[in-house]
């Protein structure tokens, strides 16, 4: 993991937030390569889940629309959802002289004593640990000039509630009919007791959530459908090996809303810091009608928040299947999966991203800066750039330029050399095999389109 973190820092994937001031625990910034990688992940999700979802279990195209809701909402939302009363982690502090350690009580077996790092995890018998106290994970702020109880607001700890709060608006303004889904991507905030494992557990992170509204009796079918679709999707973007798994929850792990449901499962990835175990990338849960009912009650709207089925002339609270994924955890999994040591290369490592996820799709290099090569390279670069993220690099030896692209995970490099002006061909170098072939310069665009899409 240290090597991955070092590469991410060195090549501009991920930086500590506010690094020039010593950073801030639990907050991370994405640099020029990282922002492209994360955007590719989010765009692929939006494209595949919202714009072009497949057929559902009933054989009809899945109906999906999107929303983009605010981070700060009326605080009553969080009372209704149960977050004000119940979104807590148990916390224990260490009162031993000079320690000031703070731990999640339910994960204490995983921690080491900060004063005695040589101790095995969970060995706290000589430490002065307080009893567990409940700690609410929601960040608080105040809306308006006066800071009192009445102006208290929360930064959303999940994007899901913005969807539930807009259920009526979406049904009234679009042509959706149950079964249908509402999707949202956006920031969520949790004041995690112990943020750790790089971006895996951060205090500010991004979610990609779908609330899929269904008739209660079809819960099992849609739960299975979404569980499998989401697992296959992570595979399709490059997490295809045995580091990915789908895990059905045990009954005692289920959240309050899922107890009566058709199921809950996690898509998990074996991160270097969880190995041999796995860490959650996404949860797929049957949330029943818990949230819509809660908002109907707390908003006073009651039955007016029910869905009206015109064909059946029936009003009811739809049930919900929720696939809820983390964009930062997904990005981290892509980085870990791509990291491929290779002693035979000048860079000693390359990032084997799926071409669809690669931050830079191709490099365009003039071999030397003379004999018309830069002009041809520049023209090719401008042509490709209209469609993909392309890097033009005229500096240093060609070996060093390939090495930089290997570390960035760029799948193809096109080099304009001495033969190009006469033959109208360029070399294309493939990242994974390092093999090179010559292709016609006017076929480069079609070549990339075929390889990358
Ligand atoms: N609406 C349901 C919900 O929020 P969750 O399991 O608490 O469920 C969903 O969160 C996803 O959000 C997780 O699978 C994970 O990918 C991401 N996530 C949750 N807490 C996170 C944190 N502190 N840092 C980074 N990602 C987080």
Nearest alpha carbon, ligand 1 atom 17 = 326
- Closest atom of ligand 1 to 190 CA is 23
What are residue 135's phi and psi, to 5 degrees? -130, 115
Predicted structure pTM score: 0.94
* 259 CA from centroid of ligand 1 (Å): 19
Query: What H or E segment, with its residue span, contains residue 77?
Result: helix 76-80
49: which residues sit within 8 A by CB, 6+ positions away? 64, 183, 208, 210, 233
Residue 190, Cβ density class (10 Å: 0-12 exposed, 13-18 middle, ≥19 buried): buried
As for ligand 1, residues whose beta carbon falls within 6 Å of it are 158, 160, 190, 192, 201-202, 205, 207, 209, 280-283, 324-326, 328-329
Structure tokens at 424: 């109208």
- Closest atom of ligand 1 to 160 CA is 1
362: which residues sit within 8 A by CB, 6+ positions away? 384, 388, 390, 391, 410, 411, 412, 413, 414, 448
Nearest alpha carbon, ligand 1 atom 21 = 201
Nearest alpha carbon, ligand 1 atom 7 = 158
Other Cβ atoms less than 10 A from the Cβ of 354: the count is 19
Nearest alpha carbon, ligand 1 atom 18 = 326
- Closest atom of ligand 1 to 159 CA is 1
Structure tokens at 438: 């010559």
Instruction: Give 102-156 as a DSSP string.
Output: EEEGGGGGG---TT-TTSPTT--TTS-BPPPEEEE---EEESSS--SGGGEEEB-
Nearest alpha carbon, ligand 1 atom 10 = 324
Other Cβ atoms less than 10 A from the Cβ of 234: the count is 21
Q: Give the three-class secondary structure for 378.
A: helix
* 28 CA from centroid of ligand 1 (Å): 16
Cα gap 408→165, rounded to integer Å: 41
Cα gap 451→274, rounded to integer Å: 33
CB 377 within 8 A of CB 42: no
Cα angle 179-76-300, degrees, rounded to a multiple of 5:
65
- Closest atom of ligand 1 to 330 CA is 16
Structure tokens at 335: 């980085």
* 238 CA from centroid of ligand 1 (Å): 21
CB 304 within 8 A of CB 171: no
- Closest atom of ligand 1 to 205 CA is 25
Closest CA to 355 of 298, 277, 412: 412
Cα gap 13→335, rounded to integer Å: 9
Query: What H or E segment, with its residue span, contains residue 358?
Result: none
- Helices and strands, number each (H, E), in the chain: 13, 23
Other Cβ atoms less than 10 A from the Cβ of 356: the count is 17
* 233 CA from centroid of ligand 1 (Å): 18
* 207 CA from centroid of ligand 1 (Å): 7
Nearest alpha carbon, ligand 1 atom 4 = 158
What are residue 107's phi and psi, to 5 degrees? -120, 20
Of 196, 329, 331, the one to substitute when testing ligand 1's pocket (max ligand atoms within 8 A of C-beta) is 329
Cα gap 148→160, rounded to integer Å: 27
Domains of the chain: 2-77+156-336 (3.30.930.10), 346-452 (3.40.50.800)
| Lookup result for tokens 């996690």 | 266
* 199 CA from centroid of ligand 1 (Å): 12
Nearest alpha carbon, ligand 1 atom 23 = 201
pLDDT in tens, the chain (453 residues): 999 999 999 999 999 999 999 999 999 999 999 999 999 999 999 999 999 999 999 999 999 999 999 999 999 999 999 999 989 888 888 888 888 888 888 888 888 888 888 888 888 877 888 988 888 999 999 999 999 999 999 999 999 999 999 999 999 999 999 999 999 999 999 999 989 899 999 999 999 999 999 999 999 999 999 999 999 999 999 998 999 999 999 877 767 666 667 789 999 999 999 999 999 999 999 999 999 999 999 999 999 999 999 999 999 999 999 999 999 999 999 999 999 999 999 999 999 999 999 999 999 999 999 989 999 999 999 999 999 999 999 999 999 999 999 999 999 999 999 999 999 999 999 999 999 999 999 999 999 999 997
Cα gap 420→376, rounded to integer Å: 9
- Closest atom of ligand 1 to 206 CA is 26
């Amino acid at each position: 993991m240290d090597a991955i973190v070092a590469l991410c820092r060195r090549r501009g994937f991920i930086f500590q937030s506010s690094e020039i001031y010593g950073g801030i625990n639990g907050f991370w910034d994405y640099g020029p390569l990282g922002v492209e990688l994360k955007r590719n992940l989010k765009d692929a999700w939006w494209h595949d889940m919202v714009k072009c979802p497949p057929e559902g279990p009933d054989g009809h195209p899945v109906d999906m629309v999107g929303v983009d809701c605010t981070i700060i909402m009326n605080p009553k939302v969080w009372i209704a959802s149960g977050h004000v009363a119940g979104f807590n982690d148990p916390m224990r502090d260490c009162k031993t002289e000079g320690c000031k350690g703070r731990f999640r009580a339910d994960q204490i077996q995983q921690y080491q004593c900060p004063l005695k790092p040589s101790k095995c995890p969970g060995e706290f018998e000589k430490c002065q640990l307080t009893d567990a106290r409940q700690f609410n994970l929601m960040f608080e702020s105040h809306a308006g000039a006066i800071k009192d109880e009445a102006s208290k607001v929360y930064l959303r700890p999940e994007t899901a509630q913005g969807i539930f709060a807009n259920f009526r608006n979406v049904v009234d303004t679009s042509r959706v009919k149950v079964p249908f889904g509402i999707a949202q991507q956006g920031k969520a905030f949790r004041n995690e007791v112990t943020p750790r494992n790089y971006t895996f557990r951060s205090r500010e992170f991004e979610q990609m959530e779908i609330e899929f509204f269904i008739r209660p009796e079809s819960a099992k079918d849609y739960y299975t459908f979404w569980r499998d679709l989401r697992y296959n999707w992570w595979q399709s973007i490059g997490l295809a090996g045995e580091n990915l798994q789908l895990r059905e929850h045990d009954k005692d792990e289920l959240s309050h809303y899922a107890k009566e449901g058709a199921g809950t499962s996690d898509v998990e990835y074996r991160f270097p810091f969880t190995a041999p175990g796995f860490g959650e990338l996404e949860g797929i849960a049957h949330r029943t009608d818990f949230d819509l009912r809660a908002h109907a009650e707390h908003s006073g709207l009651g039955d007016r928040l029910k869905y009206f089925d015109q064909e059946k002339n029936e009003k009811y609270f739809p049930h919900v299947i929720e696939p809820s994924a983390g964009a930062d955890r997904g990005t981290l999994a892509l980085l870990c999966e791509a990291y491929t040591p290779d002693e035979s290369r000048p860079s000693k490592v390359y990032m084997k991203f799926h071409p669809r996820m690669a931050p830079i799709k191709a490099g365009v290099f003039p071999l030397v800066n003379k004999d018309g090569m830069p002009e041809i390279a520049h023209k090719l670069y401008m042509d490709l750039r209209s469609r993909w993220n392309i890097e033009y690099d005229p500096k240093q030896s060609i070996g060093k330029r390939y090495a930089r692209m290997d570390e960035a995970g760029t799948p193809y490099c096109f080099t304009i050399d001495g033969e190009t002006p006469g033959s109208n061909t360029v070399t294309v170098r493939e990242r994974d095999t390092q093999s090179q072939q010559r292709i016609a310069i006017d076929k480069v665009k079609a070549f990339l389109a075929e390889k990358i899409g």
